[in-house]
Chains A and B, each alone.
Chain A
Amino acid sequence: MVAYVARRLVFVVLVLVAVSMLVFGITALLPANVAYLILGSFATPEQVHALELKLGLTDPIWQQYLRWAGGFLSGNLGESTLMNRPIGPILAEAIGRSLMLTGVSFVLIAVIGVGLGIVAALRHGRPLDHGISVATYLGIAVPEFFWAIVVIVIFASWLGWLPASGYEPLSAGVWEWAKHLIAPTITLVFGHLAHVSRLTRSSMIEVMQSPYVTAARAKGLPERVVVLHHALRNALLPTITVLALDFGRLMGGIVVVETVFAYPGLGRLVVFSIQNRDLPTLQAAILVVAAIYAFANLLADLLYARFNPKIRFGRNVA
């Protein structure tokens, strides 16, 4: 098991190195000169050249990359060209807010999605099953910004229960904080339910027909135990992997949702830095998203191993 985790960790590091090269490479190719951006449009070519020398922008690209990556590792993420502040604190704040949003959404997606999947599987072919299918498909088929607007129209304009946008820190009171989280959470959850619930449903239907479920019934176990203890354990295996992938998708989803709800998180920071050509911030933000994605996948694999004894003990010798 230790060897397995170690091997997986090495992979994660390799993935991150590759992503960092890609991110750095692409932003370096963009037709935007950092020195030019810092000095503004009235700078003379001499001034720009002087700053380029100072920032090391005339060095070969691999040297630039190593300097950037080295800074990253030592905790120095550089400075935002737009805000003239160190990127570290800006990013940390945005990550914190986004993790709050995605964390709550993720838990709800997992719980509601698996729950709906089980219910649909147990009632499969009946009206309730069809109802759940249609609802979750609607969520995934229509783009998030549409549902975001629907949520704003219903809860903010029509009912007036929730604010249409913005963010309040916890220090402003729990209710104030929660109020700003509800609408974006609903939007994110609705858009991501289908994956989890459909997959849980189909694997649950399959597992419920397996001989070991019949065997569990033959032992006279209560139906609740049969479903939750015997069937769900096996049916969740594929769902766990998809959940981790969904966490990655959520990181993409927040770009749209945070923008619509003006929620100052990582997604909005990415959009903001793109719009303002704030390359150092963009690079750092994207690398963080990639890291979250990679670790979510690692976690999924570990959970999968935890629940699937065949993987836990190394290669399946059958």
Chain B
Amino acid sequence: MLAIDDLTVRYRTAAGEIEALSSVSLTVAKGSTLALVGESGSGKSTVALAAMGLLPPEARLPAGRILFDGQDILTMNAEERRRLRGSRIGLVFQDPFSVLNPSLRIGDQVGEGLIHHRGFTQERAFARAIELLDEVGIINPEAVAKAYPHELSGGMRQRALIAGALASEPELLILDEPTTALDVTIEAQILDLLESLRVRRGLTMLFISHNLGVVRRIADEVAVLYAGQIVEQGATEDVLQRPVHPYAKGLLAAIPRLGQKKGRLASIPGRLPDLRNPPTGCRFARRCPFATPDSEAPQVLRDIGARKVRCTQAEALRDIAWPVLGEDAPSSPVVRAADAAPAVTEPVVAVEGLTKRFVLSNGPLRFEGWRPMRTPVIISPVDDISLEVAAGEVLGLVGESGSGKTTLGRTILRLTEANSGTIRIAGETVSDKPQRALESMRRTAQIVFQNPDSSLNPRKTIRELLGRPIQRFGLAAPGDIPARVNALLDLVRLPAHYADRYAHQMSGGEKQRVGIARALATEPRFIVCDEPVSALDVSVQAAIVNLLADLRDRLGVAYLFISHDISIVAHLADRIAVMHRGKMVEIGSAEEVMRAPRHPYTIKLLSAVPRVDGPIHGRGPTAVSSEILSA
């Protein structure tokens, strides 16, 4: 159906030409699903755009062909390509929040392809859109068709986008991270939907994702992309259970698995090579623990059994596992600082009956007799929550978007003011003090934000960023501040010369390390980690999680670790609290919650998590018939 042959794509940028894809070859057979997996910068989205003929003007294609049903998309003129797009090839994008036009009705956006490809009238297209919305499982399709995007939830929007991509009955569907922006339970629903559509319509799919668990649910075959090259390709279960290429091994080892506990996660050191001038040899060699002098020679994608691998040592490495390396070595985590300290009975954080309400709107105006009345619409993202965090303990907080996790974290630190409830931090009742009297609490309790890009001031060097809190709280004499900054950088394993850098000169993982160092600067006893790794790639995420675990052990810091990713929380946390619509529905030791969840919501949440091992969820009864169809 789709055959990409020897495709190379370069982008002209101010800093020089970047090779985004190097000689990528792929085939997607009719009726099958190929998953393209890679981290940010691997070039996976470029493949999608190239296949749609939608590359930006600064892209150059020195070599390659993209054959769709035997015709080369690259040699077509713009008009021919336009006729193909949306009619025979459908595209579903990553972020349903920005892909729908905010000022057009859903039904118009779903149906408009039909007007231009099939010559439908506007009314007919709208009527067909309602049918399509019904097909993708939207409960009230007439009302949704008339709605505007901002009135719909993320899952509904993604369904609407899929409906739009299906409108002209395309033979090939390209999905670029279609579930990344969604909650796990919604993600599971969307994956089920895709699977059933594939069966019903005999769709061919190119599925692009960074999430190996998701890929496992949906794909027959998987291709792993690294720095613009395919490094390994084969049947999904084969590659995921027995990866051969070192990068694929590392990627899989870095994923925390539900039910497997403790120690440290494996991570991949280093970062992507400079794609302005990619190495001629193996592009992964500098991060590879198995690299030999041979790795400097150009590597080719070879057939190893039923799969293709780009590594000269493929045969030798087949059964060798990814090592847990240097900084990630399980730093004999037997002794934790908190354990060594004399048993403190007082928890570092104690919260009781905490409630935060927001007035969404004053409500519609109505009259009772002559009296104008309004009933305000109020939501409680934090609704009567009580919890304790012991010294050196990690309390994991999971829940879906909108469940109130972030608001809870901010309310505890009084970054958002509570409506009622008491907060005690390190023995001090902080809930009834005015903001200006919170000096000592601000020192004891800190926060690490989700997005280091927006939480680190872009105009300050790292030295200034880390020095400021030290100076503010008088934690070191002015002359000693540089030494303290260096010590902090060392603590988060960044080289000392990073002190002179600005945030934009660092990678995402390095920035998050600075974010952690900034929180540690005041020597806190408690840190709220608000989704600290969700903006990071899997391999980097593992290193940050390990760092947080080490710091807890060495410094005895307690965390409230907020994340939507249950596998990570389960890996790091001692206890887990589950939030749902502002309420805490379950709290217990991590093992207990993972092994025997009590609340129905926790059970639903856990079963929705896509896993890279164990039985495959989602491919239920429908999966069997799909395999018959695609055979």
Contact = CB atoms under 8 A, between A and B. Distances in A.
Contact of B151 (A217, A229, A313): A313
B54 to A, nearest CB: 6
Interface size class of B (residues with CB under 8 A): 20 to 34
Given A219-B113, A221-B113, A318 B164 contact: no
A289 B82 CA distance: 51
Contacts of A307: 103
A3 interface: yes
A217 B54 contact: yes
Given A309-B148, A315-B360, A317-B360, A219 B101 contact: no
Interface string A222-253: 11010001100110010000000000000000
Contact of A220 (B117, B150, B365): B117
A212 B161 CA distance: 11
Interface stretch (B92-100, B348-356, B386-394): B92-100
A276 interface: no
Contact of B93 (A215, A308, A309, A315): A215
A316 interface: yes
Contact of B85 (A217, A310, A313): A217
A218 B86 contact: yes
A45 interface: no
A169 interface: no
B52 A218 contact: yes
B567 interface: no
B93 A317 contact: no
B87 interface: yes
Contacts of B361: 314-315, 317
A210 interface: yes
A138 interface: no
**Dominant secondary structure at the A interface:** helix
B116 A310 contact: no
B86 A220 contact: yes
B54 A3 contact: no
Interface in B83-131: 83-87, 91, 93, 95, 98-104, 112-113, 116-117
Contacts of A316: 150
A220 B102 contact: no
Contacts of A212: 98-102
A216 interface: yes
Interface size class of A (residues with CB under 8 A): 20 to 34
A309 B85 contact: no
A132 B103 CA distance: 29
Given A220-B113, A222-B82, A313-B151, A308 B87 contact: no
A3 B364 CA distance: 10
A33 interface: no
A223 B81 CA distance: 12
Nearest to A233: B103
A89 interface: no
Interface string B277-320: 00000000000000000000000000000000000000000000
Contacts of B83: 220
Given A218-B86, A220-B113, A222-B82, A211 B148 contact: no
B232 to A, nearest CB: 29
Given A233-B103, A313-B151, A315-B361, A220 B87 contact: yes
A226 to B, nearest CB: 10
A229 B104 CA distance: 9
Contacts of A221: 82, 86, 112-113, 116
A308 B82 contact: no
B223 to A, nearest CB: 22
A308 to B, nearest CB: 6
A58 interface: no
A219 B86 CA distance: 4
Nearest to A230: B101
A290 to B, nearest CB: 29
Nearest to B94: A211
A63 interface: no
B93 A220 contact: no
A229 B108 CA distance: 11
A214 interface: yes
28 contacts: A210-B98, A212-B99, A212-B101, A212-B102, A214-B54, A214-B99, A215-B101, A216-B101, A217-B85, A218-B86, A218-B93, A219-B116, A220-B83, A220-B86, A220-B113, A221-B82, A221-B86, A221-B116, A222-B82, A222-B116, A225-B112, A225-B116, A237-B103, A310-B150, A314-B361, A315-B360, A317-B377, A318-B150
Given A215-B93, A316-B150, 4 more contacts: A211-B95, A214-B99, A222-B116, A230-B104
Interface of A: 3, 210-212, 214-223, 225, 229-230, 233-234, 237, 307-310, 313-318
Nearest 9 A-B pairs (CB), nearest first?
A220-B86, A220-B85, A219-B86, A309-B148, A218-B91, A211-B98, A212-B101, A219-B113, A315-B361
